[in-house]
Amino acid sequence: MDFPLLPFVIYVFVTTFTPGPNNISAAGFGMKLGYKKTLLFLVGIFSGFVLVMALSALASEAVQEFLPEIFPFIKYAGSAYILWLAFNLMKNSTQDENKASEARNPTFITGLILQFANPKVIVYGLTVFSTFIRPYFNNTGTLFLFSLLLAVCSFLSTSLWTTLGSSLNRIIQNPKGKRYIAFILAALLVYSAIAIIW
């Protein structure tokens, strides 16, 4: 049986580039701070993504048996963290320009932790490995290369969303307009958090 390349690519593209906690928070921070000041956060996302994908690759078969027991904890912890991100996005958007320049930039650790608190990433990793990759590849080196490839796709996606956010910042010069967009992005994060636990 041949590896289903086209379905795999479609699944990875749609799952990676559609709105989710990683992409929405990247767009929000990009709009507020620009790409350069968001880069450490993106590298944290990339690093955490590699780790979650590698763990998913190694544990995809075993974890699926225990997922019903651990998934409620993952859902609630992840939702709480995503709500925290939404709160910070809104808090930063209501600060005046002087305070905003003094505000803490999103950190590497924030991006890294988001991957372990993001149910979308965890379920994505387990699904992509158990459905598309594990039936065709079992070599540890190959599984790690897939983990790296998936993380690179994630980095491209969050970079794109950060760039879009940064572009919106340049286009919309009115602080009130920027707050409205930050509010919409924060509302999407809240929606993501609620959808996870619903």
- For 14-35, write each residue's pLDDT tens digit: 889 988 889 999 999 998 899 9
Mean pLDDT of the region 44-57: 96
Angle, to 10 degrees, between the axis of helix 175-197 and the axis of helix 140-171? 150
Instruction: Judge whether 11 lies within some domain.
Output: no
123 vs 132: CA distance, rounded Å: 13
Indicate whether 181 belongs to any domain: yes
Q: How many residues does the chain have?
A: 198
pLDDT, tens digit, for every residue of 99-156? 444 456 789 999 999 999 888 898 788 878 887 898 889 899 999 999 999 999 999 9
**Residue 150: inside a domain:** yes
Q: What is the pLDDT of residue 67?
A: 61
Find the domain containing 73 and state its range. 21-197
Q: What is the pLDDT of residues 147-186, one digit of tens each?
A: 999 999 999 999 999 999 998 877 777 777 777 877 887 8
Q: Do the domain assignments include residue 6?
A: no
CB 40 within 8 A of CB 108: yes
**Per-residue pLDDT at 94 exceeds 80:** no
Nearest-angstrom CA–CA distance, 176 and 102: 19
pLDDT band (50, 70, 90) for residue 95: low
Tell me the average pLDDT across 37-47. 97
Cα 56 to chain centroid distance, Å, stands at 16
The answer to whether residue 71 is domain-embedded is yes
Whether residue 113 is contained in a domain is answered as yes
Confidence of residue 98 (pLDDT cuts 50, 70, 90): very low
Q: Categorize the per-residue pLDDT at 187 as very low, low, confident or very high, splitting at 50, 70 and 90.
A: confident
Residue 5 falls inside a structural domain: no
Domains contained in the chain, number: 1
Return the higher-pLDDT residue of 19 and 38: 38
Residue with more model confidence, 44 or 125: 44
Q: Is residue 79 part of a domain?
A: yes
